[in-house]
Structure 1
Amino acid sequence: MPLSTLADFLPAVQPWQLALICAGVTAAYVIFGMAGFGTALVAGPVLAHFIPVATIVPLLALLDFFAAATNIARDRHAADSAELGRLVPFLAAGSLAGAALLLWGRPDALQWALGAFATGYALHALSGHKPRSALPPRAALPFGFIGGIFSALFGSGGFLYAIYLAGRLDDKDRIRVTQSTLIGLSTLTRAVLFLLAGVYAQAPMLVLAAALVPAMLLGTAIGRRITLRLSREQFLRVVHGVVLCSGVLLLWRQWAGA
């Protein structure tokens, strides 16, 4: 069971607990290295057994930002600047709208719609149906804006960017690196908000994040190496599989909390 605070947890951590946490984080960042998102799917449930749930989102935001920055530094030439230019303004606007909903609305009900959409889309994509045409550039507005909203609310908007990019770009490396760039911008926004709220002023948070950096780097490197060996079709199956898991997890959380 998780202890009440990170300050309680760190002095009492056992080697086997740290090993399990590092294994979960490594596996999560293998997924991130391949798809550019999805760390909460794997790392979240593992971390929840050992540390306070309220700590998980800011911790993963910090690690996601540095993982994305690592990918961008290594492969920045592969990012599609035109698609970034289309998506980023809507992502930023959506993030502001999501922050407003978080403060003054009741955002939990929106998870049902998001989970249903993600699950339905992924099942359709994995069925082998071929779309008649690529997504038009104007699709950046709904995917960027709604992705920004859900990134701000739940940290779970990354798959919407992935759907858009998969429908626009033919090269898997351009999809992966452009996705990482978007996740880096999105998590930077969240990390700044957590910083202003004083979350990162807690020394135990920074100590744990630093301890998990090697696991993050290892997982990201493994995921990237795997992706380089995949065809575009195999890569998209991985992305759609992660989208499906994201949708099912959102629906399960809503059902379990009902």
Structure 2
Amino acid sequence: SKIVPLLVLLDFVAAFGNLLPSRRDVAKPELLRLLPCMAVGCTLGVIFLLNLKSDLLLLLMGLFISAYAIYSLWVKTRPTQLSVVWALPMGTVGGMFGALFGSGGFLYAIYLNSRLPKEAARATQSALISCSTVVRLSLFAIAGVYADLPLLVLAVCLLPAMVLGLWFGRRLTLRLSREAFVRLVTWLVLASGIALIGRYLST
């Protein structure tokens, strides 16, 4: 109840921080394909959140993203571009994970990085996350979550580190080739999956 609203608040600032300097690179056709799927996924995520145990969801997410990351790193020969049909599952599951865990962007990254140049993929993903966070931020604000002063103070304390991370990440992606960038993202996804599984097993 506290962490997810905090993540949404930081995601909102981060997404617009990435979007503003690169908004002209946004691929509108891909954005329009993913947005309806993301909306459906958010709705499903809320339903699952209210009806499933959170520890089971944590395990399922960890297993899913770890399996995909291992597949991506292991299999060398695969299509260089995903079909537009993949917008449906990637957008829907990404929206669902965003509602459940505050983080579904890795699925958008997988889809967009396979279809777009690096800058266009990053800009389009920032646009998607911006749309998602606006909706969730509005709902949390209406519910009065952000009336909690300590939560806002914590967000302000975390902002400098987030801004530094945005600056460093942007410089890093500009220096890497597309292949190296995708591989780095995949390793980060795998590390996240393993951490989630470890967290489930430690509870």
CA distance in 1, matches of 2:70, 2:157: 37
Q: Secondary structure at the match of 2:79?
A: coil
**Is 1:101–1:107's contact at 8 Å kept on the other side of the alignment?**
no
Question: Quick check: 1:134 aligned with 2:134?
Answer: no
**1:165-224 Cα shifts (integer Å, max 9, x gaps):** 12222x111121212222222233332232222210112222222233232222211210
CA distance in 2, matches of 1:105, 1:123: 27
**Is 1:61–1:191's contact at 8 Å kept on the other side of the alignment?**
yes
The residue number in structure 2 matching 1:184 is: 130
Counterpart residue type for residue 164 of structure 1: Y
TM-score, normalising length: structure 1: 0.73
Counterpart residue type for residue 172 of structure 1: K
Counterpart residue type for residue 86 of structure 1: R
CA distance in 2, matches of 1:114, 1:211: 29
Structure 2 segments unaligned to the other structure (5+ residues):
none
The residue number in structure 1 matching 2:45 is: 98
The aligned runs of 1:16-55 (5 Å cut-off) are: 54-55=1-2
Structure 1 segments unaligned to the other structure (5+ residues):
1-53
The residue number in structure 1 matching 2:56 is: 109
The residue number in structure 2 matching 1:145 is: 92
The two structures, once aligned, show a CA RMSD in angstroms of: 1.8
Aligned residues: 203
**1:59-114 Cα shifts (integer Å, max 9, x gaps):** 22101111110111111111211111100110011101111222234454233332
Counterpart residue type for residue 57 of structure 2: L
CA distance in 2, matches of 1:217, 1:97: 32
Question: Quick check: 1:217 aligned with 2:136?
Answer: no
Go from structure 1 to structure 2 and tell me whether the alpha carbon gap of 1:186 and 1:172 turns closer, same or farther (over 3 Å shift). Answer: same
**Is 2:35–2:128's contact at 8 Å kept on the other side of the alignment?**
yes
TM-score, normalising length: structure 2: 0.91
Q: Secondary structure at the match of 1:211?
A: helix
Counterpart residue type for residue 217 of structure 1: V
Residue of 145, 149, 154 corresponding to 1:199: 145
The residue number in structure 2 matching 1:232 is: 178
CA distance in 1, matches of 2:159, 2:57: 33
**Is 2:25–2:123's contact at 8 Å kept on the other side of the alignment?**
yes
CA distance in 1, matches of 2:113, 2:182: 7
**Is 2:7–2:102's contact at 8 Å kept on the other side of the alignment?**
no
The residue number in structure 1 matching 2:28 is: 81
Higher gyration radius (CA): 1
The residue number in structure 2 matching 1:242 is: 188
**Is 1:144–1:160's contact at 8 Å kept on the other side of the alignment?**
yes
